[in-house]
């Protein structure tokens, strides 16, 4: 059973388009996250939700909008995609606000 899953795994799109990435966890965790990993493997947190409430919102362009319809799902919608948005996006979850996080397999976004 996949603990944290993301769809799609790969996403290739053109500049200016709008796209969404979906994340689901079946671990029963309360907290979910979105991270961006750049080409140098640097991991940067973007957002965090706890029980569907936004608790971390790092300095991210407002073209990025997360949505958590329930505790098990956290989606990421990106408007007006730019070349610099190309990266691998990881979803993660944790039992609470602190502690270990469990990561999904990642979504490789390529903007052309």
Partner 1 sequence: AQSVTQPDIHITVSEGASLELRCNYSYGATPYLFWYVQSPGQGLQLLLKYFSGDTLVQGIKGFEAEFKRSQSSFNLRKPSVHWSDAAEYFCAGGFGNEKLTFGTGTRLTIIP
Which residues of the shown chain bind partner 1 in the complex (CB under 8 A)?
Answer: 4, 40-43, 45, 48, 56, 90, 92, 97-106
CB of 3 to partner 1, least distance (A): 10
Minimum Å gap between C-beta 56 and partner 1 is 6
Is the Cβ of residue 14 or residue 40 nearer to partner 1 in the bound state? 40
Reduced to 3 states, what is the DSSP secondary structure of residue 71? coil
Least spacing, CB of residue 25 vs partner 1, in Å: 12
Closest distance to partner 1 from the beta carbon of 105 (Å): 5
- Taking the least distance from each CB to partner 1, the nearer of 15 and 97 is 97
45 or 60, CB closer to partner 1?
45
Quote the CA–CA distance of 89 and 8 in Å, as a whole number. Answer: 11
Nearer to partner 1, 4 or 11 (CB): 4
Beta strand segments in the chain, E:
4-7, 10-13, 19-25, 31-37, 43-50, 53-57, 64-70, 73-78, 87-94, 102-103, 107-111
């Amino acid at each position: 059973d996949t603990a944290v899953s993301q769809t799609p795994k790969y996403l290739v799109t053109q500049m200016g388009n709008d796209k969404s990435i979906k994340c689901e966890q079946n671990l029963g965790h309360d907290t979910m996250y979105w991270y961006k990993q750049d080409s140098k493997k640097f991991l940067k947190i973007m957002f965090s939700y706890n029980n569907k409430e936004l608790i971390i919102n790092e300095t991210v362009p407002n073209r990025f909008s997360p949505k958590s319809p329930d505790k098990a799902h956290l989606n990421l919608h990106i408007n007006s995609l730019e070349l610099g948005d190309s990266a691998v996006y990881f979803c993660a979850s944790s039992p609470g606000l602190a502690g270990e996080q469990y990561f999904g397999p990642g979504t490789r976004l390529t903007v052309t």
